[in-house]
Amino acid sequence: MSITEILKTNPELAGNLTINVSASDLQDFAELCIKRGKQEKPDQKDPEEYLTPAQFAEALQVSLVTLWSWDKKGITRPLRIGNAKRYRRSDLEKILCNA
């Protein structure tokens, strides 16, 4: 049984634990963490999709007036790109999942 397994099953033992680590061991551990982090997170994210107010309202099955009212109340949070108003598809998915 490894030290980590012992500490996971008996966390009260960690209170009095002293660990001596060499600089090279610490560097190896840091490199391992970075390597694992890169494997877990892909470098490329899917680009966010933006919807017009009409598309957003249609997906929610509400009128544009209702959507405007929700914007004023802070229920929805549109983005302003120049004079254009856009909504994130991810926000739409959050609203639909919580409904």
Whether residue 45 is contained in a domain is answered as: no
Question: Which of 79, 80, 82, 89 lies closest to 56 in space, CA to CA?
Answer: 89
What pLDDT, on a 0 to 100 scale, did the predictor assign at position 8? 78
Type of residue numbered 35: K
Alpha helices in 3-82 (DSSP H): 3-9, 23-40, 53-60, 64-73
What pLDDT, on a 0 to 100 scale, did the predictor assign at position 12? 79
Whether residue 32 is contained in a domain is answered as: yes
Domain harbouring 73, CATH code: 1.10.1660.10
Whether residue 76 is contained in a domain is answered as: yes
Check whether residue 27 and residue 65 sit in a common domain. no
pTM: 0.53
What pLDDT, on a 0 to 100 scale, did the predictor assign at position 45? 67
What pLDDT, on a 0 to 100 scale, did the predictor assign at position 19? 76
What pLDDT, on a 0 to 100 scale, did the predictor assign at position 3? 73
* Domain that includes residue 58, residue range: 50-98
Check whether residue 55 and residue 90 sit in a common domain. yes
Sign of CA dihedral 63, 64, 68, 71: positive
Check whether residue 28 and residue 65 sit in a common domain. no
Check whether residue 56 and residue 76 sit in a common domain. yes
User: Mean pLDDT in runs of 10 for the chain (99 residues)?
Assistant: 76 76 87 78 73 95 95 93 93 84
What pLDDT, on a 0 to 100 scale, did the predictor assign at position 42? 59
Angstrom distance (rounded) from CA 45 to CA 69? 32
